[in-house]
Amino acid sequence: MVGSTLWFSLLLAAAFAGRATALWPWPQYIQTSERRYTIFPHSFQFQYHVSSAAQVGCSVLDEAFQRYRDLLFGSVSFHFPQPMGKQHTSEKNSLVILVVTPGCDQFPSLESVENCLETFSQLVQRSPEGTFYINKTEIEDFPRFPHRGLLLDTSRHYLPLASILDTLDVMAYNKFNVFHWHLVDDSSFPYESFTFPDLTKKGSYNPATHIYTAQDVKEVIEYARLRGIRVLAEFDTPGHTLSWGPGVPGLLTPCYSGSHPSGTFGPVNPALNNTYEFMSTFFLEISSVFPDFYLHLGGDEVDFTCWKSNPDIQAFMKKKGFGEDFKKLESFYIQTLLDIVSAYGKGYVVWQEVFDNKVKVQPDTVIQVWREEMPVRYMKEMELVTSAGFRALLSAPWYLNHITYGPDWKKIYMVEPLAFEGSPEQKALVIGGEACMWGEYVDSTNLVPRLWPRAGAVAERLWSNKTVTDLDFAYKRLAPFRCELLRRGVQAQPLSVGYCDVEFEQT
């Protein structure tokens, strides 16, 4: 999917003029006119162009048509103004879709039509009398970066399935196309593995309620697919794995206090063959469950103190000739893991430490840059990663779990992902970025208002042309877009003082 060439050009010959400028994210090319068309909900339809390669029966599109019909006109009953007395407006009855290369049943495929429908839905407005209308508009649009992701963390807090699905909806409204699912971590292991059921049985918060069954995972993947969103699953190792321990005895490193085990455990034990046998079986399952070409293998924040304390690891280090350099041990583990995953025909994304610690990785590895200051400023890191020839994903300035008072979306918005020293070839290696919502202080009570519309700032940065940076222009569109999110039932928090016609209603 990365680097998809399926650009979609949308010609809207629709009616009525006004402020057709409340689009988010802003399209690459747009021309609006004063000419305004009335839309009659009862007769309006989405149609396949006769020469479209996709036709009725293309599930992704058929369902999208239905969804956007509901978003536009609601499922509530209202009186439809009848098409009489044309006056100076004219009527527009259909949006014609032409797809060159369909791929209706493939994974992340028809993102472009999906995005076009979203844009179309944002163009439709309603007059005070309740008539729907649209200005004659011509738009040609395509994303600036192919990887526009959002990370959710379901380990620090469990997120009910409904929260994840709702997030996918709002991602689609913002033209995000990658759901980075940080499934497991130290705190809990909610992913129910059929190969190793003990992982959730012993590692989840509650093995009956706080888990994702195989069915849940399938549902997330399909729900995402229908919205043109890839699911990038992360199983972070060798650190951040405490919750794996109870379900897989012997997997984690026993920490020592002097010459005795202290009873606590550290990262995955890289000195045992069993570890790699386990990983090999486990990732075979993961590779088949998650259809995306990429897996995220983590590799961040490995704490060496436990490894250092363990005599077996010390012996292993000596045997391998690693000396006192635990980065070499980390490299050894990661390289072995990467080999396993490559053998399953998967590509991988890793956190920047893997690169920083000079792990030998395959040239097509994607490095996700997340540290703001250390070891270097993140833009310097982008420069280093790309100059080493790796593809890079930017997240460092977009940790949305970090909150401050006031309109922090502006800071988020003003980041320019390519603002580093480097050749055009280096810049071309930046495939996009991700907004990250880590879960230490976030669960389903505060996820939505904390995420939206702040993540929208990242979405536009990754989709729109790099010249679209004016904050006033952004505010003028983002504020109404936030109201539109409210209208669509999304609990998106306010940007500043003011109101929306339709406010969020407590249940």
Residues that bind other proteins (CB under 8 A): 156-158, 160, 162-163, 187-188, 205-206, 209-210, 401-407, 439-446, 448-450, 486, 491-499, 501, 503-506
Specify the residue, 69 or 450, whose C-beta has the smaller distance to other proteins: 450
Question: Residue by residue, what is the 3-state secondary structure of 194-235?
Answer: CCCCHHHHHHCCCCCCCCECHHHHHHHHHHHHHCCCEEEEEE
Specify the residue, 324 or 501, whose C-beta has the smaller distance to other proteins: 501
CA distance 194 to 185: 18
DSSP assignment of 272-307, as one string? -HHHHHHHHHHHHHHHHH--SSEEEEE------HHH
Q: Are 129 and 173 in contact (CB under 8 A)?
A: no
Q: Are 123 and 20 in contact (CB under 8 A)?
A: yes
Specify the residue, 185 or 356, whose C-beta has the smaller distance to other proteins: 185
Specify the residue, 304 or 504, whose C-beta has the smaller distance to other proteins: 504
Which structure tokens are listed for 56? Answer: 């009725």
Task: Give the shortest CB-157-to-other proteins separation in angstroms.
Answer: 6
Specify the residue, 17 or 500, whose C-beta has the smaller distance to other proteins: 500
CA distance 449 to 444: 10
Task: Give the shortest CB-436-to-other proteins separation in angstroms.
Answer: 13
Closest to 463 measured CA to CA, from 264, 299, 228, 183 = 228
Q: Which of 34, 63, 301, 425 is catalytic?
A: 301
Task: Give the shortest CB-437-to-other proteins separation in angstroms.
Answer: 13
Question: Which of 342-351 are b and which e, b meaning 16 or more Cβ less than 10 Å from the residue's Cβ?
Answer: eeeebbbbbb
CA distance 107 to 105: 7
Closest to 181 measured CA to CA, from 347, 299, 338, 295 = 295
Specify the residue, 52 or 493, whose C-beta has the smaller distance to other proteins: 493
Task: Give the shortest CB-111-to-other proteins separation in angstroms.
Answer: 27
Residue 330: active-site member: no
Task: Give the shortest CB-442-to-other proteins separation in angstroms.
Answer: 7
Which 3 state secondary structure label does DSSP give 487? helix
Task: Give the shortest CB-415-to-other proteins separation in angstroms.
Answer: 18
Which residues does the annotation mark as catalytic? 301
